[in-house]
């Protein structure tokens, strides 16, 4: 069974969102800069605060989360 997934490439990060089970999502952040403070990347899942009821909603949440915590 294929895991539903969407991604968004921004200038400073690539965000990949997957629905690992119905209603449970994880957002993976991969900064493009090798010197960024989060250069190893990180994941936020539904238990840790990712919000949304669809891949698109979680992807929008993840972009907002990135912009709030790592402004350009």
Residue 1, CA distances (Å) to 20, 25, 44, 45 in order: 11, 16, 23, 20
DSSP class of residue 62 equals H
Pairwise CA distance, residues 52 & 11, whole Å: 23
pLDDT digits (tens, 9 = 90+) for 10-27: 999 999 999 999 999 999
Which pLDDT band, with edges at 50, 70 and 90, does 2 fall under? confident
Does residue 53 have a pLDDT over 80? Answer: yes
Does residue 71 have a pLDDT over 90? Answer: no
Cβ atoms within 10 Å, residue 20: 13
- Give yes or no for a contact between 26 and 43, defined as CB atoms under 8 angstroms apart: yes
């Amino acid at each position: 069974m294929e895991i539903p997934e969407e991604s968004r490439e921004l200038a400073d990060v690539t965000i990949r969102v997957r629905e690992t089970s119905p209603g449970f999502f994880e957002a993976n952040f991969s900064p493009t800069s090798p010197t960024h403070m989060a250069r190893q990347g990180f994941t936020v899942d539904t238990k840790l605060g990712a919000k949304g009821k669809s891949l698109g909603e979680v992807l929008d949440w993840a972009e907002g989360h990135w912009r709030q915590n790592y402004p350009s």
